[in-house]
Structure formats: C-alpha cells, structure tokens
Amino acid sequence: MRKNIVAGNWKMNTTVPEGVALAKEVNEALKGATTKCDVVICVPFTHLVPVADVIDQTVLGLGAENCADHKSGAYTGEVSAPMVASTGAKYVILGHSERRQYYGETAETLREKVALALENGLTPIFCIGEVLEERENGTYNDVVKAQIVDALFNLSAEDFGKLILAYEPVWAIGTGKTATADQAEDMHAHIRAVIAEKYGKEVADNTSILYGGSCKPSNAAEIFSKPDVDGGLIGGAALKCADFMGIVNAF
C-alpha cells in the first residue's frame, strides 16, 4: 500500500551552515519519535553532501530540488541525476511550478529528467497543479490531467509505480491561501482516477499523492485526514523545525 510522506522543499533558502543546523535539528526531533509517515527534506544542491553527513537517512530522507535533463557534458551550471545520486540523496523534486514558470520547464524536458532520475535510483517527487485562472475558469482537472499525461504516461507501469506525485495548486503556493481539504481531496481523487485509467487500479492505489501549498501545522491534520491525500510537500513551514514537526505529527 501507498506510504504517507511529509517532504520539505527548502527552495532557495538557508546558507550551508544554516541548512546543516536545520537538518540536524529535524533529524534530532525525529530520532526516537514515533511518526506515522516517512519524512524527507529536499535541499539546495550545495547542501546535499554536508546534510547527508549529519542526518540518519533511515529516519530522515534526503532529496534535491531539481536535476538536469542531460546525463553529463557541456551544460555549464547544471547538476545531473548521477551527481545527485552520488551524494547519497534518494529523492528529487521535479516539475515544481516555480521551475515551470521561471525556468521554462516543459513536459519534454521533464520526461528526460524523470527518466534520468529513475535510471539513477532517485525517487521523483513530481509536481503538478493549476494556476489561479485555471481554477477560476474551471479547467483545472483537464490542466492537471494533461500535465500527468504529457510528462509521465510514456513510463512503464513499473516505473510509474516508483513516483511520488505532489498536487500543488499554484495559487496556494507561498500565498497563505490553502486549498480547502475538500478541494484537495477532489483533485487527488481525480489524479488517482487518471492514473487508474492508464495503469490500472492497483498502481493508482499504490501511488502516494502529496498536497502542497501553504500547508502548516494548523491545517495539515484536516488536509491529511482525506482518503486520497497521502501527505504534504512543505515550503515555508519546512524552514522551521517546530513547524515542520507540527506537520509531520499531524498524521
């Protein structure tokens, strides 16, 4: 059966010493605690090696926030999936709306990134979600379906089964405006139906689908109580140990 997961997305925040201190604090808080979910932190590339050195990945998983769409070569400034994997990280966020919006990521580049992540043993946390206009004009279900179909439906059922999905309505990211628990559940059920149509009910039932967008300790429990919501991808609230743990403990 699918797992419950709470994953932090640190985005472009913290220096290396600050990030190492935060990772240590979260790791300490988790050691000896009983949690009902897997916990992961996705950190800037510069932080992967020093953070890997100070955490116990049996209690706190480690991931990157992106990887390149090429394996190696003349791509100045890029960081490849094999490089990420060589740090000991096990996860990689792909297709975050900020990457799509500010760095022009398309379904085509994302297909390459997903393939390279999987080839290198990384678990993609693949983000999908509509913008405000699409929420308001009622096209959100079609938009999210197209994001999944275009970037992921080239995968075999076996490979699709290795993914974690994160539904992040763009209008709720960093805005303080959360989707209601019912809005999240409706979309997560829709996503699961889209997966079932292509790969069958078993693959759909086994896929963890996280909610992301202004998730905090005060709203996490209600959102996580929904049957198709399997956890959260947490931005702002992942930067404070107490807030992040408050969300972890919402399960």
The CB-of-238 to ligand PGA minimum distance in angstroms stands at 7
Count, residues near ligand PGA per rule CB under 6 A: 13
Among 44, 61, 63, 213, binds ligand PGA (CB under 6 A): 213
235 binds ligand PGA (CB under 6 A): yes
Please identify which of the residues 47, 65, 96, 105 carries the catalytic annotation: 96
Pairing of strands 164-167, 91-94: unpaired
Question: Which residue spans within the chain are E strands per DSSP?
Answer: 5-9, 38-43, 61-64, 91-94, 123-128, 164-167, 209-212, 231-234
174 binds ligand PGA (CB under 6 A): yes
Stretch that binds ligand PGA, among 83-91, 131-139, 185-193, 233-241 (CB under 6 A): 233-241
Instruction: Identify the CA nearest to 165 among candidates 110, 240, 238, 217.
Output: 110
Stretch that binds ligand PGA, among 24-32, 49-57, 190-198, 228-236 (CB under 6 A): 228-236
212 binds ligand PGA (CB under 6 A): yes
Place of tokens 């220096």: 15
233 binds ligand PGA (CB under 6 A): yes
How many CB atoms sit inside 10 A of residue 123's CB?
A: 19
169 binds ligand PGA (CB under 6 A): no
Dist CA 174 CA 234 (whole Å) = 10
Place of tokens 């059920």: 189
Stretch that binds ligand PGA, among 17-25, 44-52, 115-123, 209-217 (CB under 6 A): 209-217
Task: Give strand pairing partners of 234.
Answer: 8
Radius of gyration for the alpha carbons in the chain, expressed in angstroms and rounded = 17
214 binds ligand PGA (CB under 6 A): yes
Dist CA 107 CA 126 (whole Å) = 11
236 binds ligand PGA (CB under 6 A): yes
Distances (CA, A) of 60 to 9, 63, 64, 215: 13, 10, 14, 19
- Quick one: 88 or 217, whose CB is closer to ligand PGA? 217
Among 163, 165, 234, 248, binds ligand PGA (CB under 6 A): 234
- Quick one: 183 or 214, whose CB is closer to ligand PGA? 214
What is the DSSP annotation of 130-163? --HHHHHTT-HHHHHHHHHHHHHTTS-HHHHTT-
Stretch that binds ligand PGA, among 47-55, 63-71, 135-143, 208-216 (CB under 6 A): 208-216
Annotated catalytic residues are 96, 168
Binding site for ligand PGA (CB under 6 A): 9, 168, 173-174, 212-215, 233-237
